[in-house]
Amino acid sequence: LLKIKKPYNLTTNLMELLYNKLILWFFNVKYKKFPTINGKIYLKNSGTIKLGKNIIINSKLSTNPISGQGKSIIIVKSGAELLIKDGTGISNSIIICSKNIYIGSNVCIGAGCKIYDTDFHSVKIKERLSPNNPGTKTAPVRIESGAFIGADTIILKGVTIGKNSVVGAGAVVTKDIPDNEIWAGNPAKFIKKIDNAIPQN
């Protein structure tokens, strides 16, 4: 069978570009180079967002349908900071930053991932029912350069993921992952070491 390519929709792509430029400008996102955003990003920022260069964000179903989720969502609350370094890719994922989230260079974040630095609610019923929900715990999240986060992974508050480490699809990460290791499962557990040594000639 012949593969029929859809015509390049210049109007749609131009509208997405203008929308994303307006959203990043309106929410005062700082960047070295405007990121490549496929689709329309959902973004709210009351704190600080800093982006490096050569960042790619997929934010529509057609760019990566494996999660069934068709948008990237980034929310940074008042007083919080989100920093994403050069060459990182994010696909139809959710980042909620209440304190501090750092994502290093050349990180791959698969489709449908969720990264939270907050519990959102207290574990105590009286605090949950209070208007300001006191007692909610937050702690910084740090994803070091070269890490690969598999699709539908959930990364919770206070976690550091080491350089070049791999998190298996669907994992729930509740504690630190050292450099150059593979972790998977719910909760995520150590699987094996990765040999990232550069071969010598």
Active site residues: 121
Phi-psi region of 61 (alpha: psi -120 to 50; beta: other; left: phi over 0): alpha
Side-chain-facing half-sphere of 8: CA atoms under 13 Å? 2
* Separation CA 167–CA 160 (nearest Å): 12
* Separation CA 148–CA 133 (nearest Å): 34
Q: What angle do CA 179, 182, 184 make, to 5 degrees?
A: 130
CA distances from 65 to 93, 97, 105, 138 (A): 12, 25, 24, 31
DSSP secondary structure letter of residue 67:
G
> Residue type for 159, please?
V
